[in-house]
Amino acid sequence: MKEPWPHALWIVRHGQSAGNVARDAAEAAGHALIDVEHRDIDVPLSPLGVEQSRALGRWFGALAPEQRPQVVLCSPYVRARDTARLVLEEARLRPGAEVRLRVDERLREKEFGILDRLTKLGIRQKYPELNEQRSHVGKFYFRPPGGESWCDVILRLRSLTEMMTREHGGERVLVVAHQVIVNCMRYLLENLDESQILGIDRLGDVPNCSVTSYALDAQARCLHLDLVNFVAPLLEAGAPVTAAKDIPAAPKP
């Protein structure tokens, strides 16, 4: 009988990006706009993000061959694709020969709409009514004009998890994506509710290149949580751990 879930599932946030660095600089300087020249999909890794990705790749490469990823599902955003590429390079896993690499648009970053590139100050100044509405509704349900709520992200991830059970049951799957994707995947896989996932979110940002993983419980035929925001591969390699918010950094409810 085919397994109903992947045998192992790792969910990784991309390495630190140039956008993370620009956002921190804008917030520290009290600017309303985050100075990023690229559209969000094209924002690259920072030099530190490259270092973090390579450190994580060495950790995967140190696993026994029968424990390494067989399938990589990746966001189409440059920072996620480059993270996946560097991880595979350092792990000495060749796409097509030793691992199947699939770029999937359902793993893209949450779309921020008209709030894109604005700092907390910028949102309050330019869209005070939206800022108030978001504080009242909460980030789980609030959808900025032209953007997505967490519920919208979860909706597209439901079809992704269904695809994983259908096409990758019993396999070892690595997902490389974004902070909101990590949290929304946890919401789905752990059968959480709004208050539970927002409680997790309030504990802090998902570190760049951290690993949240699940292992298959063959008897119960379900996944169980194994690691949460695991950063030991970075610490062991001496790569600084960062936990920067994605753009924009609207206030948490």
* Distance between CA atoms of residues 121 and 28, nearest Å: 11
- Per-residue buried b or exposed e for 163-187, using 16+ beta carbons within 10 Å of the residue's own CB: ebeeebbebbbbbbbbbbbbbbbbb
DSSP structural state of residue 107 = G
- Sign of the alpha-carbon torsion through 143, 139, 18, 76: negative
Return the SS3 of 116. Answer: coil
The residues, ordered by sequence, that sit 6+ positions from 132 with a Cβ below 8 Å of its Cβ are: none
3-class SS letters over 186-242 = HHHHCCCCHHHHHHHHHCCCCCCCCEEEEEEECCCCEEEEEEEEECHHHHHHCCCCC
Q: Is 79 annotated in some ligand binding site?
A: yes
Residue type at 104?
D
Q: Is 120 annotated in some ligand binding site?
A: yes
The binding site for substrate consists of: 79, 120
The binding site consists of: 79, 120
